[in-house]
Amino acid sequence: MEKTEKVQCLILGSGPAGYTAAIYAGRANITPVLYEGIQPGGQLTTTTDIENFPGYPSGISGTQMMEDFREQAVRFGADIRSGLATKADLSASPFKITIDNEKVIEAQTLIIATGATAKYLGLPDEQKYAGMGVSACATCDGFFYRKKKVAVVGGGDTACEEALYLAGLASKVYLIVRKPFLRASQIMRDRVMAHPNIEILFEHNAVGLFGDNGVEGAHIVKRMGEADEERYDIAIDGFFLAIGHKPNSDIFKDYLELDETGYIKTIGQSPFTKIPGVFAAGDVADTIYRQAITAAASGCKAAIEVERYLAECEYKECKKQ
């Protein structure tokens, strides 16, 4: 294992939260070190067009936006590196983070912006049509399906929320539910079942997608594995997954408070975790919004709090916790 490196501020993750934190920390002369993780640029790099982020009136690809964020962070002195955090020791300051099972970084402050990974069904067609009709965020991509037909997979509150949002844009929304009932709260069930643009397909499974230049339809099965199993196709232009997200927080579970899904719990609306000097930003701590702009805002808040924390430590001549 390489010699340990000491840094003032370590940022893990390279989505809007991580890069924004690096921009703010860099401008504060903290010289942050940022490790990009397994997917440089985060989930936005899988999005073709982004039209709801202020400052891009003509829209922009997710990949280009993240390249812009990265370039701006580098401009202000951020040290951006390839690598994945594979182990964490937050028992005492400085915090020890192992990168790629090789190098240990000792950080006086840590911003965790590792994001969350959308859950998929595991169909090969989900990868084939990524960015061509398959999405895990209705709020991000629903605009592109105005007056078109779409399907949402899932039966919980998130799926119902996505279906209702899309129903205000699309001409038709199929809600594909594996079980014979919705797991969502009663109010969400009532709203979905009452909406004229939503058709609920209970006891259905999506088993594939088809289309020449993008999604044109889905292969679905009713009562899969039963004697009365029925297979047929539905014509759709968009296929939305709403079966949950998995926060990338596993290496911190022994030190930070996580909710039942794995999201890092922060104090109120702040980026503070229960450990002074450790902050969480973006989708790894956001159970509600999961948007590029809210992630960027949380990265900004985390960097500002890092600056304040370091200034207070210098004033008090902070010792190891």
> Catalytic site residues?
137, 140-141
Tell me if 285 sits within 8 A of 158, measured CB to CB: no
Residue 209, strand partner residues: 218
Cα–Cα distance between 18 and 33 in angstroms, integer?
10
How many whole angstroms from its chain centre is CA 36?
14
Q: What is the rounded distance in angstroms from the CA atom of residue 267 to the CA atom of residue 245?
A: 21
| CA geometry: angle 89, 315, 10, nearest 5 deg | 30
Tracing tokens 């949002």 back to the chain, one arrives at 165
Max CA separation in the chain (angstroms): 73
238's CB contacts (< 8 A; 6+ apart) are 133, 134, 135, 141, 144, 145, 148, 149, 150, 151, 170, 215
Burial of 267 (0-12, 13-18, 19+ CB in 10 A): exposed
Q: Which of 58, 59, 242, 236 is nearest to 145 (CA)?
A: 236
CA atoms within 13 A on the CB side of 133: 24
What's 173's DSSP letter? E
Place of tokens 């701006």: 72
